[in-house]
Chains A and B, each alone.
Chain A
Amino acid sequence: MTEPDPCETCEELLQPYLDRELSPDEHVAAERHLDGCEFCKRRYRFEVSLRRYIRVSASERMPDGLRAKLAELREVAGS
């Protein structure tokens, strides 16, 4: 059997690593590889910025007036 390519393994571990869902052994394995691999390190950092950017880009402020409409629902419900 051939050893899996460490970078492929890291690609698999990227999401659970950032979500802090790895087992302690997997975490150590990922950190050890990341320490020595610029390729994966760049991609991990990229993923962190990407997630933040997605959250910011996809967040739309509540339209003016909606809060007041919701508060009115409360008064109707209370009658």
Chain B
Amino acid sequence: MTSKLIRGYEVVIGLENHVQLSTQSKIFSGSSTAFGAAPNTQASPVDLALPGTLPVLNRAAVERAIRFGLAVGAKVAPLSIFARKNYFYPDLPKGYQISQFEIPVVQGGAVEFFVGDVRHKVNLTRAHLEEDAGKSLHEDYHGQSGIDLNRAGTPLLEIVSEPDMRSGAEAAEYAKTLHALVMWLGICDGNMQEGSFRCDVNVSVRKPGEPFGTRREIKNLNSFRYLVDAVNYEVNWQIDEIEDGRKIQQATVLYNPDTGETRAMRSKEDSADYRYFPDPDLPPLVIAPEWVERVKGEMPELPAVMAARFESADGLPAYDATMMTQSLATARYYEAAKAAGATPKLVANWVMGEISKRLNASGGEIDAAPVGPELLARLIARIADGTISNNAAKQVFEALWSGEAGDVDAVIEAKGLKQVSDTGAIEAILDEVLAANPKSVDEYRAGKDKAFNALVGQAMKATKGKANPALVNELLKKKLG
């Protein structure tokens, strides 16, 4: 992997993602995990850590971890251990968080993605199950802090990557791919605003060939754009420090999107000793091979497998195939359009072009796109059968997307976009064009290809762009023959 240097430094990035697993109930209690309820209405005695309460593991959370492990080609540990991470904080009711420390449930694995058209692979260290903490509410309590324990005990899968990324763009692309994957697998709702998918980014810089520099961890980034901005700021800050002769101190930092700066929360010296030890309330998590097999049988086709199929069966270029598997919804759209008879490559072009352009602008989702896969297929069919040109198709598409019209042929009719494919009519026009442009004809015959294009342009102009360009080319060549 070659990496671009920034001001002569190589950037090294590793991510830790907290993925909230989409279980109905919490990881160690029967309380609901639904978001947005009134404070503390979804906190049972177990979540409140009332004296005498004990945790019992929710197997649905384990099942989701297994899904993830299988999807990234990791080892699903036959035996893993829950440990206690001890620290005091008001929104941590037990005074410890149950997590996995020495032996996590998912070990290794890798995630692949494109940055531009370059394929990247990021290895994973591990993914482990743990419970979320509650929330401290520091506003509106008359100088006191409120505690909401609805979130306490929500299942999380913490996915830890190797320090394999070399730029903010790569890190963002990795995070996007992971985000898409966990939604694809149906193990996370992916809602970043509600904190269902959170990114902590470890950043360090070094001169090429040197050992890893000291890292700082940017905590709790909840948008991919912030991730890129935060990394870029942090990288320049670290290089400035080093260039000014200072050493980077290991620290946890927060990114402020308003100022675009990162700022240290706490240095390593202040970091707590968490006194991890195996939780005696929970026996080791044993995952029998049969369980893994059953989960495997229930898995959706994975994006990488599907992309390979789009390449081999549909003849899509690798890049297009990856783009068509960015999300399960995109893949379903692509397959539906294909099933409606559209040429695969043309579907991919439209999805990557007009459709994603509009979705990006509106923030909409493809499964709710105003132009559905069947409608797109009908549009593509009209291009393929020569009824309309590509340019005209874009106008039709715009009308369909905006809701101005609902039927492809009706739009073509109403807007008069049908191209002229009548050979006799085109020949008549060409005769006129040739007669009016003897100079171009001579130039073409003298070997100037440009002159040919000028003649085509004249013909198109004469038909107000409606002539079938392929036919114009063909007939013109014949006439000049």
Whether chain B is bound by chain A comes out as no
